[in-house]
Amino acid sequence: MNALIAGLLATLALGSTAFAEESNTSTPATATQSSTVDVSKLKDEAQAEESSEKITNARLAAESGSKSKYSMKFNISYTGGSVEQPFDKYRPNYRGTPGTLAETSLGGSIAFAYRIDQETALRFGTGISLRTPFHNKDLEVVNNVNEKGRKLLNVSSPYVEWNKTYRVGNIMLSPSVDASLATDQYYTETVGLLGSTSASLTAVTEIENSGWQPGITGVIDLAGYKDNDLLDANGDSRYQYGIGLYPFLEYAFNDVYSFRTLFGYFNYAHYSTQNTALDFTQDTSYQSVGLGIAPMKGVYFYPNLQFVPDDVRGDRTNIAVSMTLNAF
């Protein structure tokens, strides 16, 4: 593993180190010595515990973040190659997306979180990514530029996100709204991207005494550009907005391990060269299957495979590993 990978992992590891806060409050009395109890703090802690117990889906609980007033949230992922060559330089074009093969990458986001109340959080963060982490040449690492002239290690796209996670009866709900500013040189200069905004809603329910938790996530997103041109500098049609519905199904073996599968069958995108605002292109359907691992509160790992259901082949099945980590 080269020095650039080690630097990225060290940065993420430093952010994930929790700290302990000590307090020692005593009040002298004339005859006896007694200690005071912060009733409001105990009440807040009790409400935080009650709120976390309402969310029994491990992934949703980790995504909702820490219950502390201030915290950090890390989303880290490795988007790898095929099951035949998991550490290859390129991912298989398993969804038949037009254009060149996508590069493998290690990255995610780092965010500072402010908890408005026990159900609602506001986050300010940025993206971080490392291209082709196992295939970069020494000179490319030194210059931080690959053979295509794009940065290898890139910290970009600062964003703000509002999220609320709560429960109504037997349904767990998590609406989110976010907006990001494009700062990556390729996207700002070649694609002409200014930024994007999106809104999503995840709903999960429980089948009592069974371990099964079916759910669905709906997403709407919109991209903004510096000009009104239909094509970017590469001559490609610009993505303008899209909508997606992602049903999923989970089965909890116990408090730590769960099976998860997601169905990406309903994904629609609108491009700048399409005739009317209501014209959409349906993306190729895909599915992911993986194992959820939640070793403690606020931490969730998800190693998984992504494939096209009607064309399952080793050279077209993509591997990925994601992690959500909350600190403080």
Q: What pLDDT does 94 receive?
A: 73
- 212-226 residue pLDDT tens: 999 999 999 999 999
- 257-286 residue pLDDT tens: 999 999 999 999 999 999 999 999 998 899
**Domains present along the chain, CATH in parentheses:** 3-13+49-327 (2.40.160.40)
Whether residue 152 contacts residue 177, with contact meaning beta carbons closer than 8 Å, is answered with no
Q: What pLDDT does 98 receive?
A: 52
Q: What pLDDT does 272 receive?
A: 95
Burial of 60 (0-12, 13-18, 19+ CB in 10 A): buried
Residues of the chain with pLDDT under 50: 1-36, 39, 43, 45-46, 48-49, 51-52, 99
Q: What pLDDT does 147 receive?
A: 79
Q: What pLDDT does 53 receive?
A: 62
- 12-24 residue pLDDT tens: 333 333 333 333 3
